[in-house]
Structure formats: C-alpha cells, structure tokens
Chains A and B, each alone.
Chain A
Amino acid sequence: MEDFLFAFLNWDIVTQAWPILWRGFLYTLALSAMTVPLGLAGGVVLALLSTSGPRLVRLLAAGWTDVFRAIPPLVLLVFLYAGLPFAGIDVGAWGAVALGFLLNTGSYYGEVFRAGIESVPRGQMEAARSTGLSRGQTLRHVVLPQAVRNVLPDLVSNTLEVVKLTSIASVVALPELLFQARQAQNATYNATPIVAAALAYFLLLWPVVRLVSRLENRALAGR
C-alpha cells in the first residue's frame, strides 16, 4: 500500500510537477479552442454540400466523409506530421493537428449536421422559400436552427470526443497535458504525474459526460 501511494499518489511529486502540468492543461484548452471551431466549420460545409449540392457534389462529399471517418485520426496526424515533409511540405506540429482535426472531426460533425438537416421536414424549406426568403436565408433562419436542436445530443457528445482527442497531439510533441505528464514522469521516475493528468481530464470533462448522458437518454427514450 505504501509503495502504491508512493508510485501513484505522491504529493511531493504533484507539487514538483504542478507548474508544467498546469501549462499542459492550459495548452489542452487552447488546442480544444482551436480544433472544435475548425471541426464545426468543416462539418457545416460538408453537411451543406452533401444535402443541397448537385448530385456529383453530394456523392463526393459522402465519399470524403466516409474516407476520413475510416482513417484513425492518429494515422492522419502522423501522415501530416511525419510524411508530408518528405514531399517538401512541412506544416509543423500545430499545422498537422489543425489540418488533421479539420479533416477528421469535420467529417464527424458533417455527419451529425447532415442528420440534423435531413430531420427537418421538406415542407419547412418550401414554406420558407414561398414567403420570399432566399435559399441562404432559409438555411440560416429556418433549417439550421431546427437541425441543430434536433441533433444537440450528438453535437455535444462529438465535442466531448474532440476535446479528448486533443491528447493525440502528444504524439507530435505538442506540450499538451498528456505530453507534459509524460515528461514529468520521465523526469521523476514516478507515475503520479500521469495519474494527476488523468484526474485533470476527468474533472474537466465529467460535467460534460453527465450532460451528454442526460441528453442521450432523453433522445432515446423519446422515440
């Protein structure tokens, strides 16, 4: 028991590693603040293309979505970070993360938004158009607000996954929470920093998990 506490819940180590863990935590928040909007923007564009574009565009959008949902995000990230420089294109760690998340989470958000747009009855579109609203206005004022409300649980749950996924940025050496915890563990030969990082993720995301769980139950029970 003593050994266990020493190796996993060592207070001295926590106080020692605190400054770099805290920086990692802030970095994780910054990464999330970048990747979530990128994914959302990519998702809206994909969803619009795959629901209202010409037939060929719709097919291409669906294929694009399937490809980037089939490739694990870490594979994409490694490809962008370690592969592209061979062709003389060096996007750097930040660039690789931004691009990888745009492609990966954009596709997931795209599927969510597509389901939302398709859940809005056609009559709504037709009624709005017949009152003189343009296509863009109809989408913005009539279709999207209802679409977002209908898929709110999936949107929140997907956002939770995106924040968790920022931990793979540690693989390309961005100093986010997991990376910093690994550094601290290497420096101290003690697993406490990783336990502390896990605890930080849990405290940050637990409220979101509770929220998602409530929203999902309501959605499934309401069918």
Chain B
Amino acid sequence: MDALNSFIFSFFNLKVMAQYLPLVAQGLGLTVVLALLIVVCGLALGLALAVIRSFGLRVLNWAIIFTVDVFRALPPLVIIVLLFFGLPAAGLSISGFAATWLSLTLVLMAFSEEIFWAGITAVPKGQWEAARSTGLSFLQTLRMVVLPQALRITVPPLTNRTIAITKGTALGSVVGVAEILGASQSAMSFSANPSPLTLGAIAYLVLFIPVVALGRWIETRFAWKR
C-alpha cells in the first residue's frame, strides 16, 4: 500500500492542490483569454486572405500561398522562440504573451485560409455565373451566394484545426507565460510536488473535453451526405 500512498501523495496531494488552486485558476483565465484572442484574430485573418485570394490577382496570390505554406511548415514553438528570443536582437522586445499570441494567430491564419479557400473553390462555377447574371456584383456574389455555401463545408475541418492550434497556448510556458502549464510548473517548483501539474491537466480537460466533444458533434451534424 506504500506505493499507492506515495503515488497519491505525489499526484493527488489535496493540501498542495488547495494551496495552488488559485494560481492554476489564474492560469486557466489567461489560457482562455489567449485562446479567444488567437481564435478571433486567426480566423478573421484567414478568411480575409481567402477572400483576397478569390480576386485572382496572380502576384498577390503567390504571396498569399507562400505565406500560408511558411506558417504551415514551421513548428509553432519555433515561431514563438524566434519572435521571443530573436526580435530583441533587432531592438524589438516582445512579451511572451504577445509572442505566443502572434505566432499562433499566424499559424491559425495559415491553416484557416487554406480551409476557407478550399471551401470557396468547392462551390460550383455555375453558382458564380448564375448569381452574376442576375446582376449581383462580384462582392455581392461572394458574400451572399458563395461564402454561405463555402463556410458550411469548412466547419468540420476548421473546428478540429482551431482546437488543435488553441491547445498550442501551452507552448507559451516556454517563454514565461503563466498560462495553465506555466502556472502549474511554477507551483510544482514552489511545492516540490507534482500535484499542481495534475491540477493543470484537469484544467485542460475541463476546458477542452467539451470543445473536443463539440467538434465531434459538429463533424456529424455538418457532414455532407455522399
């Protein structure tokens, strides 16, 4: 029974947990704020790029495709480290929070642009032609005919991708952001006990299990009949 007791003492130490609950709760709050900022900015930028891409300006499109490829190919942690440790060398200091927010926003922008664009191209050409022939302008067609159909099929892949990238907020702990992981790691060093880490894991489960379940539901709800 000794092993079990030491296991409980290490990972489910209620005294330590109670003491550091406020700290981890603060981390949870920071994670939520950071995640919301990333989701809003990343999706908005991604949609904007996809719309610009639909104008069909060749040079601009190449630039967009290249940018998207860059942020799909680079690991998010590399971008965060580059911004946080690299920019000061150019005399530009940036906080860990800002570096994490900017990096993950750019990554989500890239992935969502790709998905939005795939959605736009999946709308049959006849829809465009029919809408334009009724006298709608290019933008009206895009806004009222194409995007509503395009967005619908992008919902499932977009949800999953957004969840995956939002979980990247934990990477902020590497550059000193006191989000859930950062907060529980400090608590772990203060208390010399890993129970706060268990608390952190629970916080992520509380935050993300509903979102993952929502993603699953959306996937079936929005699935197209083949």
Contact = CB atoms under 8 A, between A and B. Distances in A.
- Specify the main secondary structure of chain A where it touches its partner: helix
Interface stretch (B41-49, B55-63, B130-138, B192-200): B192-200
Given A78-B181, A185-B85, A220-B122, A72 B72 contact: no
- Specify the main secondary structure of chain B where it touches its partner: helix
Interface stretch (A15-23, A48-56, A127-135, A199-207): A199-207
**Size bracket, chain B contacts:** 35 or more
A93 interface: no
Given A70-B205, A75-B204, A195 B86 contact: yes
Given A8-B89, A167-B75, A194-B85, A87 B114 contact: no
B162 interface: no
A87 B86 contact: no
Given A75-B181, A201-B74, A220-B119, A86 B82 contact: no
Given A74-B181, A86-B10, A195 B82 contact: yes
Interface stretch (A34-42, A140-148, A210-218): A210-218
Given A78-B197, A205-B73, A209-B73, A194 B82 contact: yes
Given A178-B78, A220-B119, A191 B10 contact: no
B224 interface: yes
Interface residues of A, number: 55
A119 B73 CA distance: 29
A220 B11 contact: no
B105 to A, nearest CB: 17
